[in-house]
Chain A
Amino acid sequence: MRLTAEEEAMLAGERGEARKWALEHQIQVGRMFDAGDMVEVAQAHMMADPESLGEAGVAFVERLAALPEDERRVAVPMLTDPRGVDLSQYEPLGQTEEMAGLERRFVAAARALGIMMTDTCINYQTIMPPVRGEHVAYGDTGVVIYSNSVCGARSNFEGGPSALAAGLTGRTPRYGLHLDEHRRATRRYVVSRQPRELTDWGVLGAVIGQKSGSYWEVPVIEGIERVPTSDEIKHMGAAMASYGSTPLFHVVGITPEAERIEDVGGEGLRPEEIADADLDALREPFGATGETVDVVVFAAPQLSLVEMAQVAALCRGRQRHEGTALIVCTSPGVHADARRMGYVEAIEAFGGRVLEGTCFYQQYAREIGEANGWRRLLSNSAKIVNILGGYGYLPALASMERCVASAEAGRIV
């Protein structure tokens, strides 16, 4: 890889140990993906919940945090993905002191590095959406796919260590989605059944992700008849990334790089129909109508203020069944606004619990499931039902309206 004088200085340790580690890490990754050089980034965003960090990961970040201030501070604005523990209410969820202890240690270390604890996977809706053409180093697959596809920014999936490296060096290896050639369409899908509500958009994204099935495939989608809302396209992207490891999609006439299909080189690709049967087959394992439900979850991605208002409106005047928990996850910023506007109060009056700065699957989902005896889980997120089968849950999928009605009835309606 070609390095600038500044990068050579970092590699030689002249900018301290942290930046030396970071650049060495980036060169290893860059070589594997044939990066010719580095590209400067405007922001970094790190996924680093204590469940995935573990003791080893927290200790690693603490070692960086113990370095002198000028060596350890991040070089560009750096945000965090959802945390694993809401420190204001972890005991009722069955999370342990050990989990909370790891969380506290990581937060202290991250603050020492100068990281902004935004604790959100919807930073593109709530903090600072990236600009078309802007190079960024984002973690969280949902953040990356939205930022690439809807905003036209340029990011690879940056796992926690690589996002941290990018924060420390202010650059990232120039490969993958930073390059024009990897942003051109490779698969062409034609939609006929129009998605109506959030779960439909998630299911559509899941099917396209499943069909594409690789980080290096770029779907271009035709046939969408109306402009989706930010929340709708958020659910579509998050599910696509979850099922397919997909980091970028184009929707003709809607997303910024694909005003026409020719703009992304998709006109010569074989059109693949998204059949009704494909959409039905995706939902089929997540049916379970009539069965008792232990926990209803709204998360993955965290809820926007608009979604918080929608859930609150559905909760008003109703009560959850005593055998069914309701968990809602949102960012600290949205949480504050939602409390101010009475949405948190309405959800709590229903008997729900609103968690601040976490996301359900990133908060020791297996352990809290075991602690609370939760097996049958219902959500409107196509992403979360894909994940939680591996965590000992029996996940089911339904619209936001049906989720709240099921929490009230104690069984899936």
Chain B
Amino acid sequence: MATELRCHVGIGPRVEGEALVADDNFSARYDLDRIRGVFSRPQHKLAGESYVDRILVMNTAKGGVASAWMLHEMAARGMAPKAILFNSTNTILAQGAALAGMAMCDRFEDGDVTGLIRTGDRLIVDPAAGRVTIRDR
């Protein structure tokens, strides 16, 4: 059994992985300890959580043009999320995903993606098709 979510056509390759979800926003510069691969801003709902190889599911991207280079740098060290899903991304994160070769999708047809997906869900993200599949649910 699987649940299929439709979204806008995204960026990057088809990937499979485990979801890490928060009704919060995302900035690679403001929110992360990129060396350790964890969320570090104390006020962030995922503070202390590792994002490495997870599929992040968040509300929106915020602040910080630097995130565009940072996704590429994180991916080169093998310390990056596999994909990021947003309700609504901003231009910076989309540009960063394009350089990093990271999967990114947003604008889900069924509403708030941070409510549709739960932490621990196994996901298949297919940006070219504009489709995210929740396996086993």
Report A's interface with B, CB cutoff 8 A: 25, 28-29, 31-33, 47-49, 51-57, 60, 81, 139-141, 156-162, 176, 213-216, 241-245, 361-362, 366, 386-387, 389-392
Contacts and interface: CB of A to CB of B under 8 A. Distances in A.
Contact of A159 (B10, B62, B65, B73): B65
B73 A52 contact: yes
Nearest to A121: B65
Contact of A49 (B66, B72, B76, B91): B66
Contacts of B31: 390
Contacts of A49: 66
Interface of A is mostly: helix
Contacts of B94: 29, 32-33
Interface in B87-102: 88-92, 94-96, 98-99
A141 B92 CA distance: 10
Interface stretch (B15-23, B37-45, B113-121): B37-45
Contact of A390 (B25, B41, B75): B41
A56 B11 CA distance: 20
B91 A33 contact: yes
Contact of B98 (A25, A213, A242, A390): A25
Given A47-B66, A160-B68, A53 B91 contact: no
Given A245-B60, A245-B63, A390-B40, A161 B91 contact: no
A160 B69 contact: yes
B65 A160 contact: yes
B14 to A, nearest CB: 15
B68 A141 contact: no
B111 interface: no
A56 B63 contact: no
B61 A245 contact: yes
21 contacts: A29-B95, A48-B69, A54-B72, A55-B73, A56-B72, A56-B73, A56-B77, A140-B65, A157-B91, A159-B65, A160-B66, A160-B69, A161-B96, A214-B60, A214-B88, A215-B89, A245-B25, A387-B29, A387-B63, A389-B43, A391-B40
Q: How large is the interface on B (under 10, 10 to 19, 20 to 34, 35 or more residues)?
A: 35 or more
Contact of A386 (B30, B77, B92): B30
Contact of A29 (B32, B76, B91): B91
Contacts of B32: 390
Among A162, A387, A390: residue with most chain B CB under 10 A: A390
Lowest 10 CB-CB distances: which A-B pairs, in order? A159-B68, A54-B73, A56-B76, A390-B41, A215-B90, A52-B66, A245-B62, A162-B95, A161-B99, A52-B69
B43 A141 contact: no
Contact of B69 (A53, A213, A390, A392): A53
B90 A161 contact: no
A69 B65 CA distance: 28
Given A33-B91, A390-B40, A213 B60 contact: yes
A54 B91 contact: no
B6 interface: no
A52 B31 CA distance: 14
B85 to A, nearest CB: 13
Contact of A141 (B11, B25, B65, B75): B65
Contacts of B62: 213, 243-245
A160 B73 CA distance: 12
B129 interface: no
Contact of B91 (A51, A162, A242): A162
A74 to B, nearest CB: 17
Contacts of A31: 9
Contact of A362 (B41, B60, B66, B89): B66
